[in-house]
Amino acid sequence: MTDPAAVVDVASLRLVFDGPPPLAVLDGVDLSVADGEFVSLVGPSGCGKSTLLRILAGLLAPTSGTARVHGEPVGVGRAAFMPQRDLLLPWRRALDNAALGADINGVPGAVARARAGELFGRFGLAGFERAWPSELSGGMRQRLALLRTFLLGRDVLLLDEPFGALDAITRRDMYAWLQQVWLADRRTVVFVTHDVEEAIYLSDRVLLLSPRPGRVVADIVVDTSRPRAPDVVTEPRFVAMKGTILAALEDSR
Amino acid sequence: MTVLTPRRAASSRAGARARAWLPPVLLLAALLGVWQGAVAIRNVPPYVLPSPARIAGAFVTARSLLPRDLATTTVEAVLGLVVGAGVGALLAGLVAAVPPVRRALYPLLVVSQTIPMIVLAPLLVLWFGYGITPKVVVVALIVFFPVVVSTVAALAGVDPELIDLVRSMGADRMTVLRMVLVPAAIPAFFAGLRISAAYAVAGAVVGEWVGAQSGLGIFIDRSKASFRIDRVFVAVVMVAVLSMALFAAVGAIGRMAAPWQHAAERGRS
Ligand SMILES: Nc1ncnc2c1ncn2[C@@H]1O[C@H](COP(=O)(O)OP(=O)(O)OP(=O)(O)O)[C@@H](O)[C@H]1O
Ligand SMILES: [Mg+2]
């Protein structure tokens, strides 16, 4: 499957970690994500979701197959990658962490910080600009990592369980909020999550991965208008969709 | 559970500091008391072992003699610390960046620490003359080792995912070094340097012994030659005080260089 219009395009992707014993983590992954599309990856733990994102981020070379962003082989600096752990730099204050990408790419410090500072309110971090990461709560750290990712200004976002560390209630607020943020400029998103409801609520499509070695076993379209109300997931057909996905996840274990 | 208001927390912090200081001060006072008593009872002559009171007296009479020697030793120790810290940081970077260098260099570094300074110091005088240089070299040789060991360990322990993240944003090797490796190594660098600071002054004194115009080592030599053992003790006290001052100064600079560490520790306590 190679779609010339796709922004993210993965074909026959295989990844084996060198042993001993060698570990095949991804085998025959095909997927493509169109411009401005929000696609979630769900699958059992250890099936290679984070590995796939690391490949798309240009950090890991596939064993075979192709992974392209905007038609070119993946490479570092192409897409904005948010790893599963927040990985804030302990020696940078919150505002400086947010501006990390800008600092790396040579944007003048004051400009980068002004731009980052404007978003602190929207990310629920107002007043914490000068805090050290060790002084932030888990949820704040995660939002700061997300803010840092958004500020990279790339049109493809690779988000690995951005809300994984949050409690259920904060999580709901966060995904309603993420939809708002995303709708503002509709960047292309590849979103890894364990939360099926979150995936349905946020996504245009949900891709289901098999257990390791992972490959895409189901491609479920969520066709309803945006912005979606928080209770959209309680509509019967989405409840049914959630049931289908959960059952598929259950079966694959 | 007791709730500490900020004020009470502050006063209890002061209390904790006093509690930390009290035992060593009391122990020292007791030891000095025993010393004073023993010297008096056994009638030990002052050219063998002077009493603490006599040493205190010698402080007063040596007041005008000390500053010059103290200044010399301080300069040697501080310069040696700076040079040793610089060399240590460079070696640590080299060892961490080039694994073959690590294998080649590490054993040599360890061997360098097994050579007694008292053997090396005369050679250094032979090579560098009677000036300040051989003393600075002795101190630097003592200083660099803990710095290298501690910094290399910190560099090896940097989270590889952190480096990956920064790379994913487009950072090249130099940027990774500047934005991740250097800051990550700062606390360990200063931890190693603090250990070194405790030995720096003693190193300078050993360097002076072999030959110098001034310095606490020379002061000790001169005092011993004229059987002023009380003055030898005066110099020993000065060495201890100067060492503690350097130790505290390096600690303070380290805290300033790594303010985030301070915040993390505060959060944990
Ligand atoms: N650098 C590595 N070297 C060897 N094996 C690895 C490496 N990174 C990951 N793995 C293995 O690859 C498999 C997939 O890991 P990955 O992190 O991609 O899973 P995941 O789907 O993201 O899981 P989770 O949902 O728990 O985050 C795991 O079995 C893991 O042990
Ligand atoms: Mg993962």
Ligand 1 pocket, residue A40 CB under 6 Å: no
The ipTM of this complex is 0.85
Residue B6 has what pLDDT? Answer: 52
CB contact under 8 A, A77 and B162: no
Residue A177 has what pLDDT? Answer: 83
pLDDT tens digits, one per residue of A114-159: 989 998 988 889 999 999 999 998 888 988 999 999 898 889 999 9
**Residue B220 C-alpha, separation from nearest chain A C-alpha, in angstroms:** 45
Ligand 1, atom 25, residue with closest C-alpha:
A45
Q: How far apart (Å, rounded) are the C-alpha atoms in residues A250 and A43? A: 10
Please check whether residue A101 is in contact with residue A148, taking contact to mean a CB–CB distance below 8 angstroms.
Answer: yes
- Token digits of residue A81: 């990658």
Ligand 1 pocket, residue A111 CB under 6 Å: no
**pLDDT surpassing 60 at residue B219:** yes
Residue B155 has what pLDDT? Answer: 92
Ligand 1, atom 5, residue with closest C-alpha:
A17
Range scoring the smallest mean pLDDT among A17-21, A164-168, B122-126, B231-235: A164-168
Please check whether residue B101 is in contact with residue B43, taking contact to mean a CB–CB distance below 8 angstroms.
Answer: no
Spatial strand order in the sheet of A23-33: A23-33, A8-17, A64-69, A72-73
> Does a cis peptide bond (omega within 30 degrees of 0) precede residue B146?
no
Helix (H) or strand (E) holding B256: helix B229-257
* Average pLDDT value for residue range B200-205: 93
Going from the Cα of A51 to the center of ligand 1, the distance in angstroms, rounded, reads 6
- Model confidence at B1, pLDDT cuts 50, 70, 90, reads very low
**pLDDT surpassing 50 at residue B2:** no
